[in-house]
């Protein structure tokens, strides 16, 4: 083989190898469009964030195809507490009905949380306005049906017990008065 042909062969081989070595998702930039973020986020309570992933800002996607393989998009939602540096991360789950994703995130402490969504394997994390997490509300006592029944029964039993005591006292008083009147009749 002559030198120019061998150089051409090597060049073509390198190009073919590089072309097949390029990641399957080259050019796969994505845009995250928020659907719903709660107006109020409280520490310790689950927060649900709904969003869509748009490939090239024009195609709604939940997975990618390459070489007859399906690669699911697994958006990673991360939030970092500004003061403490604590980070909470979750993987959003797909909603097949509207091609959206839903992330369930519980932020453990109040304060400012900076957060991002990175649509893996597409990459490119998107930052959003920080979340101002409010302190947890005081727990509200839950009154169950059984507890209501228990309260009614305990009140009823107390009322019944008081009634029985009154009847017994009345009967005792009656017996005392009856015997006393009997003694008075025998004395005379």
pLDDT digits (tens, 9 = 90+) for 147-184: 767 776 676 666 677 777 888 888 888 888 888 777 77
pLDDT digits (tens, 9 = 90+) for 73-107: 999 999 999 999 999 999 999 998 889 999 999 99
pLDDT digits (tens, 9 = 90+) for 108-149: 999 999 999 999 888 789 999 999 999 998 765 666 777 767
**Domain layout of the chain by residue ranges:** 28-134, 142-188
157/144 Cα distance (integer angstroms): 20
Higher pLDDT among residues 165 and 12, named by residue: 165
State the CATH class of domain 28-134. mainly beta
Strands 41-42 vs 126-134: parallel, antiparallel or unpaired: parallel
Rg from Cα positions in the chain: 38
Q: In this predicted structure, what is the pLDDT of residue 109?
A: 95
Q: In this predicted structure, what is the pLDDT of residue 6?
A: 61
Structure token pair of residue 59: 């195609």
Q: In this predicted structure, what is the pLDDT of residue 187?
A: 62
pTM over 0.75: no
Q: By three-state DSSP, how is residue 82 classified?
A: coil
133/42 Cα distance (integer angstroms): 5
In the chain, what is the straight-line distance between the N-terminal and C-terminal CA atoms, in Å?
A: 154
């Amino acid at each position: 083989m002559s030198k120019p042909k061998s150089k051409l062969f090597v060049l073509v081989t390198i190009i073919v190898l590089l072309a097949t070595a390029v990641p399957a998702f080259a050019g796969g930039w994505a845009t995250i469009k928020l659907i719903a973020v709660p107006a109020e986020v409280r520490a310790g309570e689950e927060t649900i964030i709904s969003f869509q992933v748009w490939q090239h800002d024009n195609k709604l996607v939940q997975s990618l195809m390459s070489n007859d393989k399906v690669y699911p998009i697994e958006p990673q939602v991360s939030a970092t507490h500004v003061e403490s540096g604590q980070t909470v991360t979750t993987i959003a789950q797909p909603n097949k009905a509207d091609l959206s994703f839903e992330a369930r995130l519980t932020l453990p402490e109040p304060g400012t949380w900076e957060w991002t969504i990175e649509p893996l394997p597409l990459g490119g994390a998107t930052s959003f306005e920080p979340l101002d997490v409010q302190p947890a509300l005081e727990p509200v006592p839950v009154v169950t049906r059984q507890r209501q029944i228990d309260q009614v029964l305990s009140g009823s039993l107390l009322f019944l017990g008081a009634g029985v005591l009154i009847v017994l006292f009345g009967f005792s008083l009656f017996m005392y008065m009856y015997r006393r009147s009997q003694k008075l009749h025998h004395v005379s």
